Structure formats: C-alpha cells, structure tokens
C-alpha cells in the first residue's frame, strides 16, 4: 500500500527543496503542484508560462483529485505530493483527499514576500496561501483529533536531519539519510515551469544555510507580510522542531 503525503505549502517556502529531499529516497515518487493547471484555468492569473503550464497538465479539478488519490504512477511505497495551498480556489479541498497524510510547510511571511516579489511584479496576501493553509490545518486537526504535522523552513535549514527525521516519524515512514543530499539539475518530475522558477534548486545538492539577518521590504510588501503573519503564527505554534 502506498503512503501518499500531501505537503501543503506556499510559494518560496523551501517547497521545491523539500520535493528534492523526498525524491532522493529510493522508495518515493514525487508530484509537482498537480493543481497548478486547474488554478490557472479557473483564475486566469497572469503567471509566467501560464499557457504552457495549462497545456502540459490535467486542468480538471476532480480528475486531478482522483489521480492524486489513485495508484502511484510508479508503484512506489511513498508518494510525496507538493501542493500549493493558494492554488485551491476550485471545488476541491484537502477533505476530498481523505486517503492522504496531510502536512504543512510554512515560512516567515516577510521572507516569503521578499523572495516571491523578486519573481513577480506584485504580490498579494492570497498569493502566499497561508490563510488557506490555516483553514486546511484546522479542518484536518478536527478530523484527526490532533494537530497534523507542521514544519517551518527556518527550522529545516537550521537542522535538516533533526527536523526531517521527526517529520518522517510523524507521517509514519522511516527516516532515510538520502533526504539530505541530491544531484544538481532538473528532473522529469518537475513541472514545465521549472525553467523559470527552479534556478536555485537546480544548482543545489542539498539544503542551504539557515536564513540570517533582517529582510528589507517596501511599504506595500510589508503590508502583505503583516496581513499574513497572524496565520503564520497560528501554524507555527504547532511546528515540529529537532
């Protein structure tokens, strides 16, 4: 039986490095933002390569959900699914994937805004997806009767083995030291958008150094970060530490 892990993240949250980490395991298959095409079709959001993205993937919400809950394409024992919470604007939510183990990846919103704004002309609070993460987290906590796993990118960068080994225990899989290193370059499992977004990850062979220093934001960016901070802090109360 395949263990399906739905990792709900926001953009610029270390999410692709986490996908690399799980993809380095010999027992794991990974999927890259499977609802992205459906999101673009529903919203018309002017993302880079939007037309190519939609042409490259299934853009039907229910069809994607059935695929994510169905057989793993490779038959691997573990299927790691990288999901963007802000993509979930259609009729599908985490509740429609009850056979998946749901976890949450967060990052300080000031650092997200600083990183994300460098790739976009403008950024809005809904682009960070953290309010939707809180919604899914609380509904999943109600379903489980306990808090689902939450990991903070800052904690992962400070102690990758310590935090990820605890995450593995929380989601019911064995820790594998292979998660700490990977080969540089892009992957067949990367979305077609990798050529625009994944420069840093493609050049990496492991997790980078911890975040350090203060970030500088203009007034508009600071307002976005401040709007998102209460949601981030709600999730951070439950984060796994080493």
pLDDT tens-digit map of 132-146? 999 999 999 999 999
**In the predicted model, what is the mean pLDDT of residues 22-49?**
95
Task: Give the pLDDT score at 224.
Answer: 94
**In the predicted model, what is the mean pLDDT of residues 84-105?**
96
Domain annotation covers residue 242: no
pLDDT band, very low/low/confident/very high, at 47 (cuts 50, 70, 90): confident
**In the predicted model, what is the mean pLDDT of residues 54-81?**
97
- Helices 219-236, 109-117: axis angle to 10 degrees equals 140
Residue 121 has pLDDT above 60, yes or no: no
Residue 13 structure tokens: 């949250």
Residue 116 has pLDDT above 80, yes or no: no
Q: Give 151's contacts (C-beta < 8 A, 6+ positions apart).
A: 103, 104, 105, 106, 163, 164, 167, 239, 240
Task: Give the pLDDT score at 184.
Answer: 97
**In the predicted model, what is the mean pLDDT of residues 175-186?**
97
Residue 11's domain comprises 3-236
Domain annotation covers residue 211: yes
Domain annotation covers residue 82: yes
C-alpha span between 10 and 129 (Å, rounded): 5
- Return the exposure string of 184-203: e unless at least 16 CB atoms fall within 10 Å of the residue's CB, then b: eeebebbbbbbeebbeebbe
DSSP assignment of the chain: -PEEEEEEE-TTSSHHHHHHHHHTSTTEEEEE-TTHHHHHHHH----TTHHHHHHHS---HHHHHHHHHS--TT--SEEEEEEEGGG--SS--GGG-TTSEEEEEE--HHHHHHHHHTTSS---HHHH-HHHHHHHHHHHHHHHTSPPPEEEHHHHHH-HHHHHHHHHHHHT----GGGGB--SS--TTS-TTHHHH-HHHHH-SB--PPP-SPPP--HHHHHHHHHHHHHHHHHHTTB---
Q: What is the CATH number of the domain that holds 120?
A: 3.40.50.300
Domain annotation covers residue 22: yes
Domain annotation covers residue 44: yes
Total structural domains within the chain: 1
pLDDT band, very low/low/confident/very high, at 123 (cuts 50, 70, 90): confident
Report the half-sphere exposure of 134 (CA within 13 A, side-chain side). 14
**In the predicted model, what is the mean pLDDT of residues 16-31?**
98
Residue 120 has pLDDT above 70, yes or no: no
Mean pLDDT rounded to a whole number for the chain: 94
Task: Give the pLDDT score at 101.
Answer: 98
Domain annotation covers residue 115: yes
Task: Give the pLDDT score at 119.
Answer: 62
**In the predicted model, what is the mean pLDDT of residues 185-193?**
96
Domain annotation covers residue 201: yes
Task: Give the pLDDT score at 23.
Answer: 98
Domain annotation covers residue 241: no
pLDDT band, very low/low/confident/very high, at 124 (cuts 50, 70, 90): confident
């Amino acid at each position: 039986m395949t263990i399906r892990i739905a990792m709900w993240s926001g953009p610029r949250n270390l999410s692709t490095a986490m996908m690399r980490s799980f993809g380095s395991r010999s027992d794991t298959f990974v999927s890259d933002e499977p609802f992205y095409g459906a999101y673009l079709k529903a919203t018309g959001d002017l993302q880079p390569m939007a037309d190519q993205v939609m042409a490259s993937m299934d853009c039907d919400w229910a069809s994607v959900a059935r695929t994510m809950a169905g057989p793993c394409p490779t038959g691997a024992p573990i299927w790691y699914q990288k999901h963007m919470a802000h993509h979930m604007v259609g009729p599908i939510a985490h509740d429609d994937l009850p056979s998946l183990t749901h976890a949450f990846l967060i990052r300080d919103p000031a650092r997200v805004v600083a990183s994300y704004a460098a790739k976009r002309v403008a950024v809005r609070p809904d682009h960070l997806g953290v309010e939707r993460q809180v919604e899914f987290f609380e509904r999943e906590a109600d379903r489980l009767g306990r808090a689902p796993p939450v990991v903070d990118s800052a904690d992962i960068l400070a102690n990758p083995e310590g935090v990820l080994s605890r995450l593995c225990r929380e989601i019911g899989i064995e820790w594998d030291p292979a998660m700490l290193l990977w080969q540089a370059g892009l992957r067949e499992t990367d979305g077609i958008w990798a050529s625009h977004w994944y420069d840093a990850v493609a050049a990496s062979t492991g997790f980078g150094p911890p975040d350090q220093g203060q970030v500088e934001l203009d007034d508009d960016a600071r307002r976005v970060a401040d709007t998102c901070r209460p949601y981030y802090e709600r999730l951070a109360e439950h984060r796994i530490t080493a």
